[in-house]
Amino acid sequence: MSRPLSSRTTKPIIPAEPPVIEIVNLVKGFNGRNVLDGINLTVYRGETLVIMGASGCGKSTLLRCLIGAHRPDDGTVKLFGKELWGLAPKELDAVRRRLGILFQSGALFSSMTVGENVALPLKEHTDLSPEMIDLMVKVKLELVGLREAEHLLPAQISGGMAKRAGLARAIALDPELLFYDEPTSGLDPIMTGIIDGLIMDLARTMNVTSVVVTHDLKSAFRVADRMVVLNNGKVVTVGKPHEIRSCPDSFVRRFIQGPVEAKTAMFPKSAMDKGLDDVLDAEDAAQHVSRLREALAKAESEGRAAEVLRLKKELSTLESVPSGEGRGG
């Protein structure tokens, strides 16, 4: 990679400053299998880096290494020029106070309301008055469209709301560095647009450095200054969005253009429709059978022999069809 200039020219890059994130030859494995196998990445101030890769390829693991939750098996991770695993606990906390992270699961504190979740970092790390904190909480929740959920417990809100609440908590302290683990998964298209807008706003107006893990290509290309594609624990390619689009690597091409083709290849449309038809058929058939049975009973009680015979015959051909309750068993 040559000098990674921001695609948005308004962002100043101060060369003297160390990169915000510097990952060198990072290796991390579980149970003898290397999930991350020699990752090299550098992220500069104000940049938005999007990380893409197949599900289970280690993106969340990479983020955990970046916040010092996993000890790397090899290599180094530096944030703000400081090697994470060389820091004393106090220094590590000082670094962590400068970053925010949105976990893939939201990871809200389940014993606290949404508002208390957002308030916690403010209460613990600032000297703000309770009224001021209250105001800040409302502002942050407003940003993610959750103003009305302030007093609900995490168990009482939906997955998408939990994710947005997690985002509100992550930005509570106005961090310089933000990690987003799939910020828009589980959100509707409108909310996805709002969250993408928020990510871009934070980057633009507050000069926040962002690392975004996402599977959503549309939002990836929308927010990214640079993108990286991971595969088999390695960086396949790094580049600006247009470079990624025209990347000749076959894995990247499949990844960028694949979704539509891959889907149709795996689930041919005819097969999917057929599956649906089967379900509908079974439903109809069950109803039909019960209607026939009713008619049969009526015919029998009224002694219409020909009718009874006809209905019995029709029923016997249908009986093999699973009935209403038995369906799917």
Ligand X SMILES: Nc1ncnc2c1ncn2[C@@H]1O[C@H](COP(=O)(O)OP(=O)(O)OP(=O)(O)O)[C@@H](O)[C@H]1O
Binding site for other proteins (CB under 8 A): 64, 67, 69, 92-94, 96-97, 99, 101, 103, 105, 107-110, 120-121, 124-125, 169
Task: Determine if 60 is a binding residue for Mg ion (CB under 5 A).
Answer: yes
80 versus 180: smaller Cβ distance to Mg ion? 180
Structure tokens at 76: 């180094």
Query: CB under 5 to 8 A by kind: which of other proteins, ligand X, Mg ion, none does 30 bind?
Result: ligand X
Q: Is residue 171 helix, strand or coil?
A: coil
Q: Number of C-alpha atoms within 13 angstroms, CB side, residue 220?
A: 24
Q: Given strand 21-30, what is the order of strands in its sheet?
A: 33-43, 21-30, 74-79, 82-83
Among the candidate windows 97-105, 234-242, 250-258, 273-281, which touches Mg ion by CB under 5 A? 97-105
Binding site for ligand X (CB under 6 A): 30-31, 35, 53, 55-61, 104
CB of 142 to other proteins, least distance (A): 21
Residue 116's contacts (CB-CB under 8 Å, 6 or more residues apart) are: 109
Residue 76's contacts (CB-CB under 8 Å, 6 or more residues apart) are: 22, 23, 24, 25, 26, 83, 85
107: left (phi over 0), alpha (psi -120 to 50) or beta: left
Q: Among candidates 125, 154, 152, 149, which has minimal Cα distance to 138?
A: 149
Query: CB under 5 to 8 A by kind: which of other proteins, ligand X, Mg ion, none does 55 bind?
Result: ligand X
CB of 183 to Mg ion, least distance (A): 12
CB of 51 to ligand X, least distance (A): 9
Query: CB under 5 to 8 A by kind: which of ligand X, Mg ion, other proteins, none does 124 bind?
Result: other proteins
Residue 143's contacts (CB-CB under 8 Å, 6 or more residues apart) are: 168, 171, 198
CB of 112 to other proteins, least distance (A): 10
Task: Determine if 104 is a binding residue for Mg ion (CB under 5 A).
Answer: yes
Count of residues binding Mg ion (CB under 5 A)?
A: 2
Query: CB under 5 to 8 A by kind: which of Mg ion, ligand X, other proteins, none does 217 bind?
Result: none
CB of 190 to ligand X, least distance (A): 23
Query: CB under 5 to 8 A by kind: which of Mg ion, ligand X, other proteins, none does 61 bind?
Result: ligand X
Structure tokens at 96: 């962590």
Backbone φ, ψ for residue 91 (5° rounding): -65, -40
Q: Is residue 323 helix, strand or coil?
A: coil
